[in-house]
Amino acid sequence: MNPTDTSLAYSTFSTPFGSFAVAVDAAGRVVAAVFGGRAALRARLPAVRLVEDPARTQRARSQLTTWFKGGRRRFSLRLAPAGSPFQRRIWTALGLIPYGQTRSYGEIARLLKTSARAVGRANATNPVCVVVPCHRVIGADGSLTGYAFGEARKRALLDLEKATVSRS
């Protein structure tokens, strides 16, 4: 999807981790999901016209809300993040990290035959956070090593998943 071609429907909703916004294209595919509101989406999608439309984003909001409450481990949403073929390859690999588990930048790099730095850069530009679980990527030593929405929030997301897995 080329996000400059069209307007996107978006909505903002509350989560236990703060305000969250999601944007979908005309086909209902998730283009962006971020912590924050319209301004956070605008930062990720500067050339796009955003139209508030909770009805069009309802499916994504519902799945995300359930996930934030610990009631969902996987998403069944269609995605359309804008990115290079390399970025999309990294984001696809992130989506394979199981709920409640983590992988290091180096592990993903070895899997995809690239550098840990390249994985880190693509991870940092993931426009569909949580759905594409960039929070599950950590340093080789187990450190959190940053998160676009803050390391405290990254820790909280990982703790949510760990708590959900331990209840199973």
Q: Is 129 a catalytic residue?
A: no
Which is the catalytic residue, given 134, 138, 148, 157?
134
Residues 6+ apart with CB under 8 A from 20: 12, 13, 14, 33, 34, 35, 36, 64, 68, 130
Task: Please give the structure tokens belonging to residue 45.
Answer: 């999608």
> Active-site residue numbers?
134
